[in-house]
Amino acid sequence: MTALKEFERLEATGLWRPDDQQQRINVLLFLGDATLVISDMKEMALSHWSLPALERINPGPARPALYRPGDQCDETLEISDETMIEAIERIHAAIERSRPHPGRLRGAILWGSFALVAGLSLFWLPGAMIRYTASVVPDVTRSSISTGLLNNIRRVSGKPCQGEGSTAALATLQNRLRGGRSGQILVIANSVPASLHLPDGTMLINRTMIEDVDSPDVLAGYILAEDLRASASDPLVDMLNSTGLISAFRLLTTGKIPDPALDTYSETLLSRYQSPVENLALLAAFKEAGVSSTPYAYAIDITGEATLPLIEADPVPAAAARPVMRDSEWVALQGICGE
């Protein structure tokens, strides 16, 4: 990430409007490594904005500066603090410098890239080209692609759920089960599978995986299984395999995925069949996390017949299992989508 050392953990105040129908409210702003966290005055997180995707609505010297988290989002944020504005503008300038720009050599570079890719396409498998493209894409670009996919998903499923106390509960899950993985866990009210991954590591969980289960141990199983899927197959590689070589070539040469390809893949994500996870790998994940696999196994199949290996070879007996989260956090999480 293009974070600037002198601006690490910068704090300021601003005016945040959740959407066009609501009033602006006073908020606290925290500039982190890759996100701008918007919290109420009690430091309860209200929203997380990706810095690479953040847009200035009124560029120039106008004050207060007006921002939004993407070109299709209703949220807006007014900032008057000059230090915070300067930090955001300098980070965006650094990101912009890292992107390709038109110039006298652009045509030659593009033709050279085309010739190179064409040659590789003849002598190298398309799958290898896609894997290479995914391997050289910077984190900033993965974040931008994921923001675009999430914005498309939000049109169908609505905004990610946020309930009182749920931010801390999701942070506990992230730290407890995902270790140093990038991204965050978001809960979606409807229209998504049990779980899915975006290219920057963000995990989307269907609310039913929380509301319709008896304990956080079951939810932990879904999270561990989804992370194993992402480890087995890079979500960006999956996307490029779905959208095709032209999208991969565009990403390699311009750093962007065409909007139609984003739209199509968003629909694919919402209807895609979840691949099964190999039992030995899943049992190892449960053991490392200190979570019993039996509750998850019975949640998948109430009879236990289809998930018998997860029951008979449970690596963590219930008496030895470490709690996934506190009871108060589990209660808060179960009400995250509220009515």
Q: Is the Cα torsion angle 208, 210, 213, 218 positive or negative in sign?
A: positive
User: 64: cis peptide before it, omega within 30°?
Assistant: yes
Average pLDDT of the chain? 85
Q: How confident is the model at residue 316 (pLDDT cuts 50, 70, 90)?
A: very high
Residue range 270-294, pLDDT digits in tens: 888 888 899 999 999 999 999 999 9
Distance between CA atoms of 177 and 179, rounded to whole angstroms? 6
Binned at pLDDT 50, 70 and 90, residue 88 comes out as confident
* Mean pLDDT score, 63-90: 86
Q: At residue 21, what are phi and psi to the nearest 5 degrees?
A: -90, -5
Separation CA 233–CA 179 (nearest Å): 19
Q: Please tell me the pTM assigned to this model.
A: 0.65
| Predicted local distance difference test score (pLDDT) of residue 105 | 54
Residue 47 and residue 185 in one domain = no
| Same domain as 204, residue 89 | no
Mean pLDDT of 241-260: 89
Q: Which candidate, 80, 57, 61, 81, places its Cα nearest to that of 70?
A: 57
Residues 72 and 221 in one domain: no
Residue 134 lies in a domain: no
Among 43, 77, 98, identify where a domain stops: 98
Any idea what the CATH number is for the domain that residue 59 is in?
Answer: 2.30.29.30
Report helix, strand or coil for 26: strand
Q: Which helix (H) or strand (E) holds 68?
A: strand 65-68
Could you give the CA distance from residue 160 to residue 149 in angstroms, rounded to a whole number? 13
What is the span of the domain harbouring residue 185? 140-233+275-334
Q: In the predicted model, is pLDDT for residue 72 greater than 60?
A: yes
Same domain, 86 and 144: no
Q: What local confidence, expressed as pLDDT, does residue 261 receive? A: 92
Mean pLDDT of 232-248: 91
Residue 116 forms part of a structural domain = no
Same domain, 165 and 294: yes
Asked if 24 and 13 touch (Cβ cutoff 8 Å), the reply is no
Position 5 pLDDT exceeds 90:
no
Instruction: Give how far Cα 65 sits from Cα of 16, 25, 57, Å.
Output: 12, 16, 8
Residue 242: is its pLDDT beyond 70? yes
Residue 41 lies in a domain: yes
Q: Quick one: 19 and 153 in the same domain? A: no
Q: Kindly state the helix (H) or strand (E) to which residue 39 belongs, with its residue range.
A: strand 35-39
Cβ-contact 129, 245 below 8 angstroms: yes
| Same domain flag for 226 and 297 | yes
Average pLDDT over residues 192-202: 91
CA nearest 206: which of 242, 265, 277, 158?
158
- How many structural domains compose the chain? 2
Domain-embedded: residue 127:
no
Q: Are 167 and 225 members of one domain?
A: yes
Q: Is residue 30 part of a domain?
A: yes
For 260, the enclosing helix (H) or strand (E) is helix 259-271
Same domain, 92 and 166: no
Is the domain of 217 the same as that of 306?
yes
Residue 249 lies in a domain: no
83 and 197 assigned to the same domain? no
Domain boundary among 66, 98, 130: 98
Residues 77 and 190 in one domain: no
Domain assignment present for 316: yes
Across 122-126, 197-201, 245-249, the highest mean pLDDT is recorded for 197-201
- 194: closest CA among 176, 212, 215, 174? 212
Name the DSSP letter for residue 46: E
Environment class of residue 295 by beta-carbon count within 10 Å: exposed (0-12), middle (13-18) or buried (19+)?
Answer: buried
Q: Is residue 129 part of a domain?
A: no
DSSP of 188-257: E-SSS-SEEE-TTS-EEEETHHHHTSSSHHHHHHHHHHHHHHHHHS-HHHHHHHHH-HHHHHHHHHHS--
Domain boundary among 98, 115, 148: 98
pLDDT at 2: 45
**C-beta atoms surrounding 61 within 10 Å:** 6
Of 44-48, 168-172, 187-191, least confident by mean pLDDT is: 44-48
CB 277 within 8 A of CB 271: no
Task: Give me the pLDDT at residue 71, please.
Answer: 73
